A and B are shown apart, each in its own frame.
Chain A
Amino acid sequence: MSEPSERAHKLLVESLAAWRLAGSVERAADGALVIAGSRKDIRIERVPHEMFRWTVAIDGRRRPAISLVAVLRQVREALDPAYAANRVRVAIAPLVPFE
């Protein structure tokens, strides 16, 4: 495991505030991010060199997440009962302009 970056830490802190959810985000001794004081215990680890770059353990149940965006979705689904996932797909198509 490697440590989630400071930016990931900050994003989780700001996300809880933006979603008006209780809880704090702290670093465990091994570097993982732990969300405490909320409806569920959540532990977030970085998994280097893997397709699923993150593991999110919610009340002990571990699930992989492919990106930070997926981590956010898992955290919000776990903590926010009012959250109705809106799986919008934004296609920035074309990704770069045609010449």
Chain B
Amino acid sequence: MSAIPASVLTGFLGSGKTTMLRHLLRQPEFSRTAIIINEFGEIGLDHELLEASEDSFIELQTGCLCCKIRSDLSRTLQELLQRREEGRCTLFDRIVIETSGLADPAPILQTLMTDAAIARHLVLGSVVTAVDAVNGAATLEREAVSQKQVAVADRIVLTKLDLTGPAKPALLGWLEELNAGAPMLTAEHGRVDSADVFASGLYDPQTKSAKVHEWLAAEAHGHSHARHDAEIKTYAILRETPIQAVALTLFLETLAEHCGPDILRLKGIVNILESPGRPAMIHGVQHVFHPPAWLDRWPSAQRSSRIVFVTRCVPQRWVEALLEAIAEEVAEIGRVGPPRSSLKLSAGVQLR
């Protein structure tokens, strides 16, 4: 068996990795691709967004990939290769590993290049980093791990240009400083050049900056440290009762209003009362909330709403209390009908 290239798709929270992967998996040249997705959260949703075949798809939900790299990733890859060898999955000829948005790429790359258990069967292919053109500069300023993600890339894919227009000089300055050698591609609503995105050949650390060499060397020597900001928390809100569309709008507005910069990532599948057969997929990154994508049908038998949060110091109890209270108020207004003073409103009344 010739070595199979395992490519890495990385990028900070909300940078558009899953959207891009979703597009790629629809292209014919990606039909023989196995996917490993790692989500930093109690409840994964990305697998419900991807239309990959079940048997060549693995979701790692045991924590962030970079923190358990020596065990989980290696074991998962071995399991995938075993399945392939025994004919228990699609005969893939490529693996794409989507890291969690908080993942330090260095230990992942080091494992793929040196782990003895997989080295005979796999080679490290391309490393592709998604960078969000809306929040990218601020994220690079604040999050050291996002700088690493850019520095190790063979290709940088700028996403969300449809929201910003051409990339801003501040962002381009960051990318130039961190990784001037990586060609830059763009993705519009996830649509990226599928022929080019993973076409850089095998990963060659020698073409990267001195910093990248340092990080990889540190991992080779077993260097370990707390990889994530301790203030970053992830949790999921589950709700069995459908949510009225206006309640969801108010809920998201209030989150953005009171703690926008600290909502590092929000994504969810929501059972909207007015649309029982077609759930809404919602996405938010800091202050930016995207219009919901209405799925044609529920991706699984589960009908509950599930919203996953990655936040800095936004308590789960507050988020849950907020959703419950808003849903209650909206439902009450729906029950009692229009207020008796609704006709008293006149110009000059300040709506608070």
Specify which of A18, A19, A93, A96 is in contact with B291 (CB 8 Å cutoff): A93
Query: Taking CB as reference atom, which chain B residue is nearest A67?
Result: B329
Residues B315 and A85 in contact, CB atoms below 8 Å apart: no
How many residues of A are in contact with the other chain, CB < 8 A? 40
The total of chain B residues at the interface (CB under 8 A) is 44
Interface 1/0 per residue, A83-99 and B, CB below 8 Å: 00111111111011100
Q: Is B69 an interface residue (CB 8 A)?
A: no
Q: Does A61 contact B (CB under 8 A)?
A: no
Q: Which residues of B contact A69 (CB under 8 A)?
A: 250, 253-254, 326
B339 partner, pick from A50, A73, A74, A89, beta carbons under 8 A: A50
CB distance from A36 to the nearest CB of B (A): 20
Residue B324 at the A interface, CB < 8 A? yes
Query: Given contacts A68-B329, A96-B245, is CB(A14)–CB(B324) below 8 Å?
Result: no
Count of A-B contacts with CB under 8 A?
Answer: 114
| CB neighbours of A85 from chain B (8 A) | 257
Cβ–Cβ < 8 Å partners of B352 in chain A: 63-66, 70, 73-74
Q: Give 5 A-B contacts (CB < 8 Å), ordered by A residue.
A: A5-B328, A19-B258, A65-B352, A73-B352, A87-B257
> B262 — nearest CB in chain A belongs to which residue?
A18
Residues of B contacting A65 with CB < 8 Å?
352
Of A49, A89, A95, the contact of B245 (CB 8 Å cutoff): A95
Asked if A11 is at the interface (CB within 8 A of a chain B CB), the reply is yes
List residues of chain B with CB within 8 A of the CB of A93.
Answer: 291
When distances are taken between beta carbons in the complex, the residues of chain B under 8 Å from A72 are 254, 258
The 0/1 profile, CB within 8 Å of B marked 1, for residues 19-47 of chain A is 10000000000000000000000000000
In the complex, besides A5-B325, A88-B253, A95-B249, 10 extra interface pairs with C-beta distance below 8 angstroms are A14-B317, A14-B321, A17-B315, A18-B314, A51-B344, A73-B352, A91-B249, A93-B291, A96-B272, A97-B275
> Which of A5, A14, A86 contacts B318 (CB under 8 A)?
A14
Q: Verify B321–A50 contact, CB threshold 8 A.
A: no
Residues on A with C-beta less than 8 A from B324 are 7, 10-11
Partner of A11, one of B245, B294, B321: B321
Question: Is B201's beta carbon under 8 Å from chain A?
Answer: no
Cα(A96)–Cα(B248), bound, Å: 11
In the assembled complex, which residues on chain A have CB atoms less than 8 Å from the CB atom of B280?
A: 92, 97
CB contacts (< 8 Å) of B250 on chain A: these are 67, 69
